[in-house]
């Protein structure tokens, strides 16, 4: 790891490093970056998703329908000019 890269990383991390710390961190950063080289060997896939299991819509489509006949319902309820009356709200 070269000195310029260490200085840039230290600046971004807002660290003030002396020469000894720069040498130590240069070696540490090199080891960290070498550890990530394992990812280069991972198999590539053309499609990337967040879920390892595909998400499938299992719900049915909404189909409008009416279970009770309007006229029969109005006959059973107290209506006023075909409107259902409810309690007065204050």
pLDDT of the chain along its 90 residues, tens only?
788 888 898 899 998 989 898 889 889 989 998 998 888 887 777 777 677 787 788 888 888 888 888 888 878 887 788 788 778 887
CA–CA separation, 4 vs 11, rounded Å?
10
Domain boundaries, the chain: 3-41
pTM: 0.41
First CA to last CA across the chain, in angstroms?
77
Residue 79 CB partners (closer than 8 Å, separation 6+): 85
Report the candidate in 28, 66, 45 with the shortest Cα–Cα distance to residue 15: 28
Task: Specify whether the CB–CB gap between 16 and 31 falls below 8 A.
Answer: no
């Amino acid at each position: 790891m070269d000195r310029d890269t260490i200085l840039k990383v230290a600046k971004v991390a807002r660290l003030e490093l002396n020469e000894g710390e720069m040498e130590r961190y240069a070696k540490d950063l090199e080891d960290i970056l070498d550890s990530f080289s394992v990812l280069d060997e991972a198999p590539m896939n053309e499609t990337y998703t967040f879920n390892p299991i595909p998400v499938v819509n299992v719900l049915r489509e909404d189909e409008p329908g009416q279970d009770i006949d309007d006229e029969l319902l109005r006959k059973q309820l107290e209506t006023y000019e075909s409107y259902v009356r409810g309690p007065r709200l204050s």
